[in-house]
Structure 1
Amino acid sequence: MKHLKVKKIMKRIILLILLIMSLSVAGCSAQNGNSTADNLEITFFKIGSADSILLSDGSQTVLIDTGEEEDGEEIIDYLESESIETIDYLVITHFDKDHVGGADTVLNEVDVQNVLVPDYETDSTDYQEFLTAMEDNNLAPTVLTKKLSFSNSSASFTIYPPELSSYESDNDYSLVVSVEHGENRFLFAGDAEAVRLEELMNQLDGEYTLLKVPHHGRYSENSTDFFTKVSPEYAIITSSDKNKEEVVVVSALEKLGTTVYLTREGNVQVISDGETIQVTQ
């Protein structure tokens, strides 16, 4: 009888231990599930045929391009409305006025920690004002000649610089930004034209959830090949009523099943939870 009682007690102890272990594992799984990814919020500004895109997950803010000179204050107003006081990374994809024009305003009115630029120079007024604002704020840009990666609490960023030292078009100097947030992938292709698109098709792996369409929706000879490789579920085109996107670009994307948004119709807001994304305009 004593032997049977001991066996029953031992069995209960073993069951209790297994129960505690299972609860502990479940607790860890739930904790990990909750911390998989904070929401990543992306704003594509309606600022005409120009680029400015804000990415924030609450712990870090990245701004890709700053539109034209007159767009700087609109960007600042939005940052203030969102209580964003610091930009951790400002990426200037290239130095055309519709990408770098508002940079001096942003640099002078917001705390910018890091500035990433491609490896070339120009003599434009907007570029010179950008350099002056950098100097006034005791900043030195990081000139990218090699791929750069960094992460925040929930997303990883990879920036691809152009592979050549010289291009016929300034657009092909564009830095291209790839972002991974949980299962979602985002690609911001600057103003890349045919030569740069060819490079990208060799640099990039896999498909993307969302594409910022290069060069405001203008068609290059290998645009369709590029769209097919990237195969985005969503595409954002930064265009204006004066400088509309090309119909052939929208058609090529829609044939792939891509949902296309145009910033000339309003700001585009994207929220990623690491598994799904919500796009509103």
Structure 2
Amino acid sequence: MKKLVTLIMTMVLAVSLMPFSTDAAAKDMKVHFIDVGQGDAILVQSPNGKNMLVDGGPKASGSKVVSFLKAKGVKRLDYVVATHPDADHIGGLEAVLNAFPVTNFVDSGYAHNSQTYYNMLALIDKKNIKFKVAKELDKLPLDPQLVTRVLYADENAKDSNAASIVLKVTYNKVSFLLMGDADTKIEDYIRSKYDVKATVLKNGHHGSNTSSSVAFISAVKPSVGILSYGKNNSYGHPHLAIEARHKNVGAKTYKTAVHCDITVTTNGVKHSVTNSCGKASTPAAKPAPSKPAAKPTPVKPAPSKPAAKPVTQTNFKNCTELKKVYPKGVAKGHPAYQAKMDRDKDGWACE
């Protein structure tokens, strides 16, 4: 009996001296920024295998988003977040809601009269998905190893972009700030109230200069900046200044129109970035040598032609055509201003 007691004591001591397993803490989290053209779609795959989709891109990208999710092993979405009801953020969600069971749906609460928004709400109702309107400081219990917090939401905003849900997802020392289409006023608000410092920043409004102010980028100090936009889009996104602001704080810029699907993988301490186009993170460094060569820019009498054009041409098919005449866009009240080209309703078309 004495020998048995001694043996048990020895085993207990041996177990107590064994190093504590940190496997749980070392599990990887993946955040995928899906190339959906001119729009946003972000898949968060937590360390414990939970899945959250933030936006679904435009309607035309719905099948691409569904295929991407299936390729990443998604069988169920624990959360779907619609940051705001613009078609380039929720259009693809109809296909997603039809393809996967969804446990929770988080909405901005901003009412929209589009058929796309109505179809989405009808599907949520039909499938009995738990529906919640986001409130500032809400925590989404996606995974106990993560802190997933709403830093901003406003269902009574003046327009849909200003209603954008801003999410911060933190895994130990690595964090992601997802800005939807939030503008500089919202940026000023959240940086005045909360810790916005983040490892990865998904810039607001596809890299438009209505977002991503110098002060905000300086406060976030990201290591990685993500610009999600469509190639040759009619809005002129992204604006060149945004990438320069990333560079000033030491961040690498990744762009869906250049790098395609972008994936950030982290164990909560370190992170790495891969992309499906296999291109370097800063191909923008090469245009610098070409600019000196292009310094025959004294051909800037071109800007003087636009001044003469308003008399003969005030109607344009799209922003690309307008910007040939007015490179900086036009303000409300200008003869060439068209409301349909002022997507963010800030009184400036094709900025």
Residue number in structure 2 paired with 1:119: 109
Q: TM (normalized to structure 1)?
A: 0.86
CA gap of 1:230–1:135, structure 2 versus 1, over 3 A, is: same
Residue 193 (structure 1) aligned with residue 187 (structure 2): no
- Equivalent pairs counted in the alignment come to 262
Residue number in structure 2 paired with 1:154: 145
Contact 1:38 1:154 in 2 (8 A): no
- Unpaired runs of 5+ residues, structure 2, are 1-5, 276-351
SS of alignment partner, residue 49 of structure 1: coil
Q: Shift of residue 152 of structure 1?
A: 0.7
Residue 272 (structure 1) aligned with residue 272 (structure 2): no
Could you tell me which of 245, 250, 271 is aligned with 1:257?
250
Q: Shift of residue 25 of structure 1?
A: 4.3
CA distance in 2, matches of 1:34, 1:204: 31
Could you tell me which of 47, 50, 55 is aligned with 2:44?
55
Residue 45 (structure 1) aligned with residue 38 (structure 2): no
> Which piece of structure 1 moves more, 141-150 or 100-109?
141-150
Q: Which has the higher contact order (CA 8 A, sep 6+)?
A: 1
Q: Deviations over 1:170-192 (max 9, x none)?
A: 11111111111121011101100
Residue number in structure 2 paired with 1:102: 92
Contact 1:207 1:232 in 2 (8 A): yes
Q: Shift of residue 41 of structure 1?
A: 0.8
Residue number in structure 1 paired with 2:19: 27
SS of alignment partner, residue 95 of structure 2: helix
- Unpaired runs of 5+ residues, structure 1, are 1-12
SS of alignment partner, residue 229 of structure 2: coil
Percent identity over the alignment is 24
Contact 2:50 2:78 in 1 (8 A): yes
SS of alignment partner, residue 62 of structure 2: helix
Residue 233 (structure 1) aligned with residue 218 (structure 2): no
Residue number in structure 2 paired with 1:5: none
Equivalent residues in 2 for 1:67-146, closer than 5 Å:
67-146=57-136
CA distance in 2, matches of 1:280, 1:222: 23
CA gap of 1:193–1:35, structure 2 versus 1, over 3 A, is: same
CA distance in 2, matches of 1:84, 1:228: 36
CA distance in 2, matches of 1:107, 1:222: 31
Q: Deviations over 1:105-146 (max 9, x none)?
A: 111110000000112201012111111111221224201234
SS of alignment partner, residue 25 of structure 2: coil
One-letter code aligned to 1:161? Y
Contact 2:35 2:228 in 1 (8 A): yes
Contact 1:37 1:154 in 2 (8 A): no
Could you tell me which of 148, 152, 158 is aligned with 1:168?
158
CA distance in 2, matches of 1:233, 1:64: 21
One-letter code aligned to 2:239? E
Q: Select the structure that is richer in strand.
A: 1
CA gap of 1:277–1:223, structure 2 versus 1, over 3 A, is: same
Residue number in structure 1 paired with 2:197: 207
CA distance in 2, matches of 1:50, 1:128: 19
